[in-house]
Copies of this chain bind each other. A is one copy, B any other.
Amino acid sequence: MRFLHTADWHLGRKLFGYDLLAEQQASFAQVVKIAQAEQVDAVVIAGDLYDRQNPSEEAVRLLNQMISDLNLTLKQPLLVINGNHDSAVRLGVGSQWFEQTGYYLRTTLNSVDHPIVIGDSQFFLLPYFELYQARQFFDDETIHTLAQAMTALVARMMAQFDASKKHILVAHFFAAGSTHSDSETSINVGGLDAVPLNLLTDFDYVALGHIHNKDALHEPRVRYSGSLNKFSLSEVNQTKGVLIVDTEPEIKVRFRPITPLHEVQQLTGAFADLSDANYLQKHGIDQAAYTGIVLTDTNVISNASNRLKQQFPRFLTMSRANGVQFSQQRTLATTKQQTPQDLLADFYQTVTGQPLTDQQVAWAAKALKETEQ
């Protein structure tokens, strides 16, 4: 069989205050097209459908529409779990009704050993859980690490393995060895939060959510699909999309990219260039993208952000590659090792445009010496 693996939709997320619902809707429309073109037998969504435990009405309305489009209009079987950003209770409302149309939404550990069989594959849906939930589920107070919990859960699942089928795990956690970015929320603290890869070797494929970078883990059969959209400037160089997984005759994974409605980009350059419409057009720079700007200039530029925003309506933030130099002196960014006397001289020159006179230097030295005593 063939399925589409996606995760980390984070509906309701904002990027530097910009609402992303229209972006997310546009990415979803491409997921639908890919699912149809690939004629997949199921769509797997591995958690973090929402960005918040208590999402806005707009996010709730959008997700309900998306799921309804996929499952009711297109008759697409869905295999869905909650992630750490979702409220298991709120997301899980109605799940008892959904299975009638092949929408399998699992938000508790109770059915972790009730795999869903589609074609040649058993799908085990493991929702995101807290350790206390694993202790309750197993009635075992000795469970104190995610590795312990996962060992017990995997054993429970393996007891249901049908040897004639492929075994697919859908889960939402941090797999040991993955690289983090700044756009995922840390799931746990204290080093208990990583799932060792050796616990996952009995599965033919592990469809993971949590990490937004599809290349965060270098395991052929333990994969993050990544998010559908870029949620941080740290993700500008990532390609977003979904994974298409064939189970026959062998597991085969292909990446299908998604073109964002508007790109997220980071530009580095001189203010004179980046604030010049002609320059931008000549160099084919995407002015509609969500744009973070790093200026190479070191001089003070008045009203720089607002002037950049005129060229980039989705302007995000501005920073400096080389600090700001208030005069011809060394920049403030390089002053860390200076003496108080040097700092005072720099400050005076920056503010007045003139160096200290000899008399002023003497006065300053005297005052600083008194202060030190």
Contact = CB atoms under 8 A, between A and B. Distances in A.
A98 B93 contact: no
Nearest to A93: B64
A96 B61 CA distance: 13
A57 B94 contact: no
Nearest to A53: B57
Contacts of A94: 64, 93-94, 97-98
A26 interface: no
B54 A93 contact: no
A205 interface: no
Interface string A77-118: 000000000010110111011101101000000000000000
Contact of A89 (B61, B89, B101): B61
A285 interface: no
A64 B89 CA distance: 9
Nearest to A99: B97
A98 B64 CA distance: 13
A341 interface: no
A98 to B, nearest CB: 5
A283 B65 CA distance: 60
Nearest to A98: B97
Contacts of A92: 64
A100 B57 CA distance: 25
Contacts of A101: 97, 100
A93 B100 CA distance: 16
Given A94-B94, A100-B100, 8 more contacts: A57-B89, A60-B90, A61-B89, A64-B92, A64-B94, A68-B96, A94-B97, A97-B103
